[in-house]
Amino acid sequence: MRRNIVHIGAGELTYAIREIVEQAGRIEALGVDMSWENIGDPIQKGERIPDWIKDIVADLVRDDASYAYCPTRGEPATREFLATRVTARGGARIGPDDILFFNGLGDAVSKAMGFLRREARVIGPSPAYSTHSSAEGAHAGDHPITYTLDPDRAWQPDLEEIRQKVRYNPAIAGILLINPDNPTGVVYSRDTLEGVVKIAREFDLFVMCDEVYINITYNGAPAVHLSDVIGDVCGLSLKGISKEIPWPGSRCGWVEFYNQDTDPIFARFARSLVDAKMLEVCSTTLPQRAIPRIMGDPRYATHLVTRATEYKRRASEACAILGPVPGITVHEPQGAFYLTVLFDRDVITGSMSLPIADQRVQRVVEEFILHASAEPDFRFVYYLMGATGIVVVPLSSFCCQRHGFRITLLECDDERRRRMFETLARVIGEYQESAVS
């Protein structure tokens, strides 16, 4: 090429959650029965959508208006419905024009990070859902700036660490939270959220909170929304229907902007996202039209409680099986539908392995390891895949220096799920015992 056409942030774009699928596909092609525990798609894992929700969608499918473009910000009646719900909580007051629809939160994250001024950085959690950390790193052309979710504090952040990092890095313009968190399942207390908002107020920052799992909390964890605590600080909340209806294939999510009127720079930033969406005309129409009908239905609250109760049951089951295994730490999630299994420091090494009966599978696993990240949890994940067919995501791929893996709680078949957790418990032990001394 006459000119280098590669974006300075290209190297930051990684998404192991999906990358691993291609590799697992090669193992599957050799006849291994796979357990796909890597992707947060409840439908792929067998969850059934209640008939009353399907009836609403079917009704909309028969309406020609569902096939049209919608206004750039999104369906007016839906934005009105959502804004009224936020204001009714008693915290931030917003109107329909404070809401902007996207084609899923993936789209929202890449635009929100991508349209920040290059030098303006957003500090985010480590481990982090990689869409956020990759998009932020790519926008800046540098590695993400992170604060630690501390496994010794059940994955809660240390507010003083955030404060010090913000204080000594003037490039930081915003603080990102994921609540409930992916991959750790931690849910932030009101105190933690208020503490983050206080730091943002002190240093004149915005707060960005991914709340895609906000209606999936359990184990007594409170679902405190950013809008409940934001006060007069500039903020944006990212919400969607992928996880809670669940309807990930709808590609539908939205951003709520809080306190645009208090800072012209923040208002201009929000406007730039509307302008960017305008170039694309709008986001998907049909799911937006379905939102008030589904969420406004009296059956919706029960639907949410039923789902959260089921995830709580599966989280407890996973922790009961994995908790006693030596060499790892698991904290029972309080929200979302993931579990992070953390290897204790230095327990896994580059000499460990699992027996794989099929030589062809063994060769493919070795090939993956040869080309993989040097992090030892990648090695474990490949051996796990080859030896058992269980597909999980290495923790080090979540912008994290600790080793472990993320597994989902989505398998609906009780027998299969229990067997999968039991297999994991067994092979984690075998893997550690395989160390060549």
Ligand X SMILES: Cc1ncc(COP(=O)(O)O)c(C=O)c1O
Instruction: Using CB under 6 A, list all residues that contact ligand X.
Output: 40, 104-106, 129, 131, 178, 182, 210, 212, 240, 242, 248, 253
Q: Which is nearer to ligand X, 248 or 292 (CB)?
A: 248
Q: Which is nearer to ligand X, 45 or 379 (CB)?
A: 45
Among candidates 19, 18, 37, 17, which has minimal Cα distance to 337? 37
| Strand-pair partners of 335 | 217
| Strand-pair partners of 394 | 405
CB of 105 to ligand X, least distance (A): 3
CB of 337 to ligand X, least distance (A): 10
Q: Which is nearer to ligand X, 109 or 369 (CB)?
A: 109
CB of 246 to ligand X, least distance (A): 9
Q: Which is nearer to ligand X, 104 or 174 (CB)?
A: 104
CB of 408 to ligand X, least distance (A): 10
Q: Which is nearer to ligand X, 109 or 230 (CB)?
A: 109
Tokens encoding 200: 């943002």
Beta-carbon count within 10 A of 32 CB: 20
194-201: long-range pairs with CB below 8 Å, 24+: 194/229, 195/159, 196/159, 196/162, 197/229, 197/230, 197/231, 197/233, 197/235, 199/159, 199/162, 199/163, 199/166, 199/175, 200/174, 200/175, 200/233, 200/234, 200/235, 201/231, 201/232, 201/233
Among candidates 124, 134, 100, 99, which has minimal Cα distance to 178? 124
CB of 294 to ligand X, least distance (A): 16
How far is the C-alpha of 315 from the C-alpha of 303, rounded, in Å? 19
Tokens encoding 265: 């720079």
Cβ-closest position to ligand X: 104
| Strand-pair partners of 254 | 101, 239
CB of 393 to ligand X, least distance (A): 11
Q: Which is nearer to ligand X, 338 or 431 (CB)?
A: 338
Q: Which is nearer to ligand X, 136 or 210 (CB)?
A: 210
CB of 429 to ligand X, least distance (A): 30
Among candidates 256, 283, 199, which has minimal Cα distance to 233? 199
* H-run or E-run covering 125: strand 121-126
